[in-house]
Amino acid sequence: MNAGATEIVIFADFYNNEGSYMGKKSVTLAPYSNSQWNRAFTLDPIFGTDVEAGFVDVWSDTPDANFLTYASIVDNGTGDPSTVWPF
């Protein structure tokens, strides 16, 4: 979510649970807007299959960028979501 009054570009590096780099995605966000990636580890150019665990390093090189990230993990058995905050 872009929490600022100017457009920003956010980058995300994807890694599997062993720390191996899987690829990078980016998104341009208008002021005070947001974006959602569903099944992010399976999207182009990551194309991860059977990723049981991993992490994403998120950053922006836009000067004075203010943004918030979070993830939601869905339990395959119950369908219950859990929110993962970056702090």
Domain boundaries, the chain: 8-84
Over residues 27-75, the pLDDT tens digits come to: 999 999 999 988 888 878 788 777 788 899 999 999 999 999 998 888 8
Per-residue pLDDT at 81 exceeds 80: yes
User: What span, in angstroms and rounded, lies between the C-alpha atoms of 9 and 20?
Assistant: 24
Number of residues written out for the chain: 87
At which residue do the structure tokens 């590096």 appear? 13
Over residues 9-30, the pLDDT tens digits come to: 999 999 999 999 999 999 999 9
Burial label, 72 (beta-carbon count in 10 A; 0-12, 13-18, 19+): exposed
At which residue do the structure tokens 């049981």 appear? 52
- At 31 the pLDDT is 98
Residues 35 and 15: beta-carbon distance below 8 Å? no
